[in-house]
Amino acid sequence: MTRTASSNQKALIVLGLGSNAGDSRQILEDAIAAISRRVGRLCFASVYKTAPMYVADQPDFFNTAVSGYFDGSPFELLSFVNTIEADFGRDRSKEQRFGRRTLDIDILLFGNEIINEPPKLIIPHERLHERAFALVPLLELLPKALDPRTGISFKEILAALPDQGIIREST
């Protein structure tokens, strides 16, 4: 199922950012500055250090989230964040899936939209419900957020997850 907002509405979005290659904290800071060029009223969460998921043999990640208002379609947002990732050296054709990367930007939420057009775009993010490293900063920004698919609060979803060793690094 796909629900799409009209292109002339600004949508409240949440992006998850992660890095575990290079100066990750500086990369996240610079990526947030780049995002602010197109996302209005940008807010950002604390930075969290987290153990890698899926591929354990790699450095820990530094993760955060940002929220704000985007004037465009979900696919325009995807193109925008993919360009920022590439500007920071990400080359999806040469990387290991779930492996080490300079910058990963995931669209976690786009308003209350539900988009299911794999492999290109799935919103809410298809693995959000299993990733405390994405849910914790999301909830720091939007503590009452609900999963648009189920109507269940992300707080409840996070509470059901096992401890994933997330350490708050900074605000």
The catalytically annotated residue of 106, 131, 163, 168 is 106
Q: What percent of the chain has pLDDT over 70?
A: 93
Domain boundaries, the chain: 10-170
CA–CA separation, 161 and 167 (whole Å): 16
Dihedral of CA atoms 145, 74, 123, 152 in degrees, nearest 10, equals 20
- pLDDT tens-place string over residues 38-50: 999 999 999 999 9
> Residues 23, 87, 91, 104: which is the catalytic one?
104
> In the annotation, is 106 catalytic?
yes
Collapsed DSSP state (helix, strand, coil) of residue 64: strand
At residue 2 the predicted structure's pLDDT band, cuts being 50, 70 and 90, is very low
Count of CB atoms within 10 A of residue 169's CB? Answer: 15
Distance CA(55)–CA(43), nearest Å, equals 30
> Is 23 annotated as catalytic?
no
- CATH fold, domain 10-170, is Alpha-Beta Plaits (3.30.70)
How does pLDDT run across 65-124, given as a tens digit for each residue?
999 999 999 999 999 999 999 999 888 777 767 777 899 999 999 999 999 998 899 999
Residue 101 designated active-site: yes
Tell me the torsion sign for CA atoms 11, 104, 23, 54: positive
